[in-house]
């Protein structure tokens, strides 16, 4: 599956063609929902393009480089170090799609869950069903994070972190 298909307009054009041929693409949530660089397409802009060109959203996933290494550059474009990418961009983009009425809640959810599970053939993921892993996020009416369960284990409860992942910083 081609990833980061929204990193420039030309690549997104090819990605839409690929969807029409039956392929699936992935959009990076690591681009700001309203980027200042017109060469970067936000998830919202990419979704609107798919909708305008009648490319099936069943073939679109949204992911982040969350917990992956992320280069840090200085003003001269020189690599100065590495940091760990956050998965927070997923929730930011999900909220933006729903709150700005780009997609209804049910359709937006699929981009971040069941589409990815199906496209990447992730057994036990993407649905709430007996025998599945029990990975859930529970949001309030304002789409704020309330609870997180991973493999049925409570990770966040009432907005408070109860268990930390491998790459979580102590301040989180």
Active-site residue among 37, 65, 135, 142? 65
3-state secondary structure 25-93: EEEECCCCCCCCCCCCCCHHHHHHHHHHCCCCHHHEEEECCCCCEEEEECCCCCEEEEEECCCHHHHHH
Helix pair angle (9-20, 43-52), 10° resolution: 40
Annotated active-site residue 65? The verdict is yes
How many residues make up the chain in this entry? 172
Half-sphere exposure of 133 (CA within 13 A, CB side): 16
What is the H or E stretch that residue 115 is in? helix 114-119
List residues with catalytic annotation.
65
């Amino acid at each position: 599956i081609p990833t980061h298909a929204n990193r420039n307009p030309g690549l997104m054009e090819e990605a839409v063609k690929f969807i029409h041929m039956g392929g699936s693409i992935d959009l990076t949530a690591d681009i700001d929902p309203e980027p200042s660089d017109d060469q970067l397409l936000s998830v919202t802009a990419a979704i609107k393009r798919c909708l305008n060109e009648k490319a099936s959203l069943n073939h679109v996933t949204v992911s982040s480089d969350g917990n992956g290494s992320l280069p840090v550059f200085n003003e001269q474009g020189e690599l100065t170090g590495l940091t760990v990418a956050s998965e927070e961009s997923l929730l930011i983009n999900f909220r933006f799609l729903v709150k700005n009425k780009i997609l209804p809640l049910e359709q937006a959810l699929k981009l971040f869950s069941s589409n990815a599970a199906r496209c990447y053939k992730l057994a036990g993921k993407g649905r709430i069903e007996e025998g599945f892993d029990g990975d859930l996020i529970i949001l309030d009416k304002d789409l704020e994070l309330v609870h997180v369960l991973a493999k049925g284990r409570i990770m966040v409860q009432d907005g408070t972190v109860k268990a930390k992942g491998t790459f979580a910083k102590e301040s989180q």
